[in-house]
Structure 1
């Protein structure tokens, strides 16, 4: 078992959730039940799956949750691209967040590689 609060991948995921909420609060009201809702769910899913997986008794089971977390990270990146294409954020903010999500994706993948599967 892992103490999820001490995992760097979980901490980075929590940081992304904060960034995500700050960003989506600026989106148009008509996106509240579509893109905002979807981005919020994906962002929350990243650290949530890491914490849930950390409770599993084997690394093999933990890895399944890490895969789900990684999938949510890629899904969130796609939604970020959609938001940028709709001009909901500046290019500078887009690049900053794109770099952050890419970093998280790499961290999760590296963490998976270190598990005893």
Structure 2
């Protein structure tokens, strides 16, 4: 959720010409990250939850790509952009590790 908040803050510094392009895309994929985690947490099995975690990771890579496009175009606040990129990488590592844990726990349950 913190990444989503930060991404929205960064979008406020982008040119208004990107309102329906990069801004919209950044807002949607940054919201998708925690939304998929939340939706997956309500699933009945660890395997289903892991699928939603995978979707969340995919959304984080989409966000990272949009941010890198902004970086190449020299859009917005450099400080907020760098914070977003750093936090995106941290969130990716956290979700990936959590997904691996969930999958290892699921395989233990399947073997039992």
Report the Cα distance in structure 2 between the residues aligned to 1:53 and 1:97, rounded to whole angstroms. Answer: 24
**TM-score normalised by structure 1 residue count:** 0.84
Task: Indicate conservation of the 8 Å contact 1:84/1:90, yes or no.
Answer: no
Distance 1:20 1:94 in 2: 8
More helix per residue: 2
Shift of 1:95: 2.9
Report which of the two structures shows the higher radius of gyration computed on alpha carbons: 2
Instruction: Count residues in correspondence.
Output: 104
TM superposition shift of 1:75: 0.6
1:16 is matched with which residue? 3
Contact 1:20 1:43 in 2 (8 A): yes
Structure 2 match to 1:5: none
1:55 alignment partner in structure 2: 42
Q: Shift of residue 84 of structure 1? A: 1.0
Unpaired runs of 5+ residues, structure 2, are 107-112
TM-score by length of 2: 0.87
